[in-house]
Amino acid sequence: MKRRGLVKQLLLFCLVGFVVTYVYNSVLFQVNELSVEVTTKLTTKRIFNFVPSTRKLPQKKFKINCRKIIEKDKGEIDRATALMRVSPPFSLKTEDYINATEDCVHFRKSFRYDSYPVTNEEREFPIAFSIITYKDVDQTERLLRAIYRPQNLYCIHADASSPDSLHKALEGIADCFGNVFIVSKKEDIIYNHMSRLKADLNCMSDILAMPQKWKYFINLPHQQFPLKTNLELVKILKTYNGANDIEGIITHGRMMPSRFEFRHKYINGSWKKIGKRNNKLPLNASIVKGSAYGVFSREFVQYIITDKRAKDVLKFMEDVKSPDEYYWATLNHNEVLKAPGRYSGNPEKKPWLAVYASWGGRDKCHGKFVRGVCIFGVGDLNELVSKKELFANKFYPDFQYLALDCLEEYLYNKTLSHLPFETFYYKQLPFIRKQ
């Protein structure tokens, strides 16, 4: 009898534990609570109630207030920083995604892909994205989820040389959506090589072949994250009215001229100069430097894929070092090349809002600098949420992980809040096409 009573008590304890855990996890997603629950073993909020083995009350619980962090509360930032030193980040493994996407209905529901409201304005203005990745399925999926809307299109490019498990996980994710797909031709991307540019071109070509009449194309690496909701992106891009947002640099020193004044070849794992360049750009266009990332109108993408002038410029870029930092900019900032949505003024006087990055020697960074670029931390959030740029680069999943947690929650809550968005700043930009 005692044993039977003990069994009943144990069953009752388990049942209570399950109910408490269910309620606990549900509360985490209340839109009005800007807080992140962090444990010494995992970040419960990040897994969206997915992995069954983690559905239990943590042994030790910390409550971090994201609102205070974003408002630059020093005490809360210090608490978050101290916590991250002793509590490692939690992320799902590649195998978790392979298993999760075997049931697409459950995957979409548990990861809350369909929980974002979509307005008619968004439905009538679909956006196409490419996501370039080579590792970290968890961070790649997290970016996809942040920008996902059913009317948009998403092309995922993973390096051809990445592990088979990564490709399988990403294919599983893509198969759960009608508007997410894996690029038809994968490149083995080499840093500073033409393969990086081809990865985006392959996605552009695939997306153009889709029947959806998307309006703009945005290319992203998996370490970027949005600073604007999808509705805000739509309002900004409608203001652009067909203009591209592509960086332009023509100051000689900043252009890194040796990259294009000499021909380069990748030999045995390193770059070699193979002689002084003796050919010119088509139509005597001038080479312009910029970023590998930008915001491209549909007409500009069509021009890139089909126009002879764009193809001739691409041929010129084949032995340029880091051609992705010259190709878009050269097309967009040369009047003679007649690219749709181009900018005719001084490239360096054109604001560039596609991506915000903090550079060493110029900008502040509360995280850490890696190869001259800031890896954002919790202390950077106050500035990031006030930026006019559309995306921020970059975040590491194993460094100051609460920065990404809080930014993700901020965007989720802002999406559900339907707060008004003022486009006056964007309407005054010198590169937009007037209505």
More confident residue, 390 or 17: 390
Confidence of residue 326 (pLDDT cuts 50, 70, 90): very high
Residue pair 246/344 in contact by the 8 Å Cβ criterion: no
271 dihedral zone (left: phi>0; alpha: psi -120 to 50; beta) = beta
Q: Give 237's contacts (C-beta < 8 A, 6+ positions apart).
A: 125, 127, 215, 216, 295
Confidence of residue 149 (pLDDT cuts 50, 70, 90): very high
Evaluate if residue 25 carries a pLDDT over 80: no
Give the separation between CA 376 and CA 395, rounded to whole angstroms. Answer: 6
Q: What is the CA radius of gyration of the chain?
A: 24
Report the relative pairing of strands 153-158 and 127-133 from DSSP bridges.
parallel
Evaluate if residue 227 carries a pLDDT over 90: yes
Residue pair 209/263 in contact by the 8 Å Cβ criterion: no
DSSP 161: T
More confident residue, 41 or 346: 346
**Residue of 154, 156, 300, 152 whose CA lies nearest to 213:** 152
| Span 52-75, pLDDT tens digits | 322 232 334 567 899 999 999 999
Give the separation between CA 131 and CA 144, rounded to whole angstroms. Answer: 8
Evaluate if residue 266 carries a pLDDT over 90: no
* 207 token code pair: 């997306």
Give the separation between CA 390 and CA 233, rounded to whole angstroms. Answer: 7
* 179 token code pair: 């508007």
Phi, psi angles (nearest 5°) of residue 232:
-65, -40
Phi, psi angles (nearest 5°) of residue 404:
-70, -40
Give the separation between CA 343 and CA 354, rounded to whole angstroms. Answer: 15
pLDDT score, position 17: 44
State how far Cα 375 lies from the chain centre: 14
DSSP 126: -
Mean pLDDT in residue range 211-236:
97
More confident residue, 104 or 59: 104
Evaluate if residue 29 carries a pLDDT over 80: no
Evaluate if residue 179 carries a pLDDT over 80: yes
Residue-averaged pLDDT of the chain = 86
Which uninterrupted H or E stretch holds 312?
helix 308-316
3-state percent helix, strand, coil for the chain, nearest multiple of 5: 45, 15, 40
Lowest mean pLDDT among 262-276, 299-313, 358-372: 262-276
In Å, how far are 219, 296, 328 from 293, measured between CA atoms?
6, 9, 9
DSSP assignment of 52-92? GGG-S--SSEEEEEHHHHHTT-HHHHHHHHHHHHHS-----
| Span 344-394, pLDDT tens digits | 999 999 999 999 999 987 888 999 999 999 999 999 999 999 999 999 999
Q: Is 325 a catalytic residue?
A: yes
Given the residues 247, 325, 389, 408, select the one marked as catalytic: 325
**Residue of 282, 155, 309 whose CA lies nearest to 217:** 155
Phi, psi angles (nearest 5°) of residue 212:
-65, 140
Q: What percent of the chain has pLDDT over 90?
A: 73
The residue ranges of every structural domain in the chain are 2-93
Mean pLDDT in residue range 310-330:
96
Evaluate if residue 340 carries a pLDDT over 60: yes
pLDDT score, position 213: 94
49 dihedral zone (left: phi>0; alpha: psi -120 to 50; beta) = left
3-state secondary structure at position 275: strand
Side-chain-facing half-sphere of 256: CA atoms under 13 Å: 11
Evaluate if residue 14 carries a pLDDT over 50: no
pLDDT score, position 265: 86
